[in-house]
Amino acid sequence: MNKSYKYQQAVISLCVMFAFFLKPTYAEVVNADSIIYGDYVVTMVTDQPVIEDGAVVVIGNNIIAVGTRSAIEKKYSAKQKISGSGRILMPGLINGHTHTPMTLLRGFADDLDLMTWLNDYIFPVESTVVDKDFIRVGSELACWEMIRGGTTTFVDMYFYANVTAEVVEHCGLRAVITGVALDFPAPGSTGWDNSFKDAVEFVKLWQGKNERITPGFGPHAPYTVSPEHLKQVALKAKEMKTPVSIHVAESEIESAIIQERYNASPVKHVLDLGFAPGNLITAHMVHPNEKDIKMLVKHKVGVIHNPTSNLKLASGIAPVSKMLAEGVLVGLGTDGAASNNDLDLWEEMRLSALIHKVKMNNPTAIPALTALKMATSMGAEAIGLGEETGQLIAGKRADMIQVSFDSPRLSPMYNVVSHLVYAIDANDVVTSMVSGKLLMKDRKVLTLDSKSVKDAANAKSRIIMKTLVSGKPSH
Ligand code: NI
């Protein structure tokens, strides 16, 4: 055995050892389902700065890891990689209050106060034209619009909730769906007993059926549902561990009606009826008093601020700064498209950041980051889905969107959060993913057919106009 042979053997042994030690490193690379990139990753995790050139890793329904591109690519590979060049990656938006099928009444009755709008236009037309097909077409139109606009989760309250749930199951969004219940006859029901019974059956049918769909109860408001009936809902919701969405303290007239009927503010009236803490999602909350705000915190009530609807119906400007300062969880909502007239959360974010500056005579009242939280992380908490969605962090559902900032309209960009609230709009959203499944890629909605959704809506609007021979709509 000569020296060079010994040397060769030593080199081979070293290589084998080296390969042996390297092997576990390769074995640690995890095969994921998707890696989604962003030039900026806005996680909405408290104290987590925006990650530049970052990525999110998805396996199944869930986020597995979030980090810089270099850190992620050392540990993960994936069959599906979505480029983040010129794009911001962020949690999908949460629309905390809407009535999806009302997209079919978009522009149907404008420039009216809440009670005239409801009693003279919306309730009469609903009693005439709303059936299961109206709900299917209107919900599909709404879901298409929400996917295109970057909303990944919404809270709905309308008739024939089962049909909306079927649309949501198919189109891939996440939703809390509450069947509306009223004391008087309404589409699909002859009155309270009937609508409450159907609401219980709806919750039984959908609870635990699909992780994206949370069924709940939707008693319309304290002025359309009696205290006895609201107590029934509170008890059943507690027993079935399911959320309740309701309009509360929307207008001054409502406050006057409740004060006269029950000698209490709408908030005190509703909260004294026994709803479980953390169970209530209240829409509007324009007119709570100081005591009401403290009660909202104590009862862990989620409040959904709907600035466009409140402005359009002249309901007032909700005391959002005060509620936030007291620790109320506040999310954002569009309300139905009949009082907005779209389902664009970017508008709600921008308006919420702007109108409170004027109301408070203070330009720091609602900063951009607070508006963004209301549309994402805090919005998710306000509707009881804070464990599932609203942030990009390992363990939560893979609900996220990519937003393009390629347009000259968005150049230059000094501050990504500022851009998201003050400059970007729904048309800049390019990708939508919910529970790890792509719903939109490069602005093409993958789960609903754009043309057939639009054609069905237009066909339905012609039937609605023909049905309304009394000519109630004035436009
Ligand atoms: Ni509403």
- Please tell me the predicted confidence (pLDDT) of residue 109: 84
Q: How far is the CA of 304 from the centre of ligand 1 (A)?
A: 10
Residue 22 has pLDDT above 60, yes or no: no
Residue 16 has pLDDT above 80, yes or no: no
Tokens of 422: 């003050």
Q: Where are the alpha helices (DSSP H) in 241-284?
A: 252-262, 266-271
Between 473 and 466, name the one with better pLDDT: 466
State pLDDT tens for residues 414-423: 999 999 999 9
- Please tell me the predicted confidence (pLDDT) of residue 9: 56
Residue 208 has pLDDT above 50, yes or no: yes
Distance CA 99, CA 289 (A): 27
Q: How far is the CA of 181 from the centre of ligand 1 (A)?
A: 13
Q: How far is the CA of 283 from the centre of ligand 1 (A)?
A: 7
Q: How far is the CA of 178 from the centre of ligand 1 (A)?
A: 12
Model-level pTM? Answer: 0.92
Using CA of residue 132, residue 138, residue 141, residue 145, what is the dihedral sign?
Answer: negative
Residue 470 has pLDDT above 60, yes or no: no
Read off the pLDDT band of 6 (50, 70, 90). low
Residue 464 has pLDDT above 90, yes or no: no
Residue 18 has pLDDT above 60, yes or no: no
Q: How far is the CA of 98 from the centre of ligand 1 (A)?
A: 6
Q: How far is the CA of 337 from the centre of ligand 1 (A)?
A: 10
- Please tell me the predicted confidence (pLDDT) of residue 113: 87
Nearest 10 degrees: Cα torsion 76, 77, 81, 85: 50
Q: Stretch 162-189: mean pLDDT, rounded? A: 95
Distance CA 320, CA 356 (A): 7
Residue 5 has pLDDT above 90, yes or no: no
Mean pLDDT of the chain: 93
| Whole-number percent of the chain with pLDDT over 90 | 84
User: How wide is the angle at C-alpha 290 spanned by C-alphas 287 and 296, nearest 5°?
Assistant: 80
| Three-class secondary structure assignment of 183-238 | CCCECCECCHHHHHHHHHHHHHHHCCCCCCEEEEEEECCCCCCCHHHHHHHHHHHH
State pLDDT tens for residues 358-415: 999 999 999 999 999 999 999 999 999 999 999 999 999 999 999 999 999 999 999 9
430 close to 410: Cβ distance less than 8 angstroms: no
Tokens of 71: 């850190």
Q: Stretch 243-260: mean pLDDT, rounded? A: 97
Residue 472 has pLDDT above 70, yes or no: no
Percent helix, strand, coil in the chain (nearest 5)?
45, 25, 30
Q: How far is the CA of 39 from the centre of ligand 1 (A)?
A: 37
**Range with the lowest mean pLDDT among 126-135, 163-172, 363-372, 392-401?**
126-135
Residue 26 has pLDDT above 60, yes or no: no
Q: How far is the CA of 166 from the centre of ligand 1 (A)?
A: 21
Q: How far is the CA of 250 from the centre of ligand 1 (A)?
A: 9
For 1, 10, 12, the CA distances from 5, given in Å and listed in that order, are 6, 9, 11
Q: How far is the CA of 156 from the centre of ligand 1 (A)?
A: 9
State pLDDT tens for residues 45-75: 998 889 999 999 999 999 999 999 999 999 9
Q: How far is the CA of 256 from the centre of ligand 1 (A)?
A: 19
- Please tell me the predicted confidence (pLDDT) of residue 255: 97
- Please tell me the predicted confidence (pLDDT) of residue 10: 54
Q: How far is the CA of 116 from the centre of ligand 1 (A)?
A: 15
State pLDDT tens for residues 69-83: 999 999 999 999 999
Residue 36 has pLDDT above 50, yes or no: yes
Distance CA 180, CA 102 (A): 13
Q: Is the bond preceding 215 in cis, omega lying within 30 degrees of 0?
A: no
Residue 19 has pLDDT above 50, yes or no: no
Q: Stretch 325-347: mean pLDDT, rounded? A: 96
Read off the pLDDT band of 21 (50, 70, 90). very low
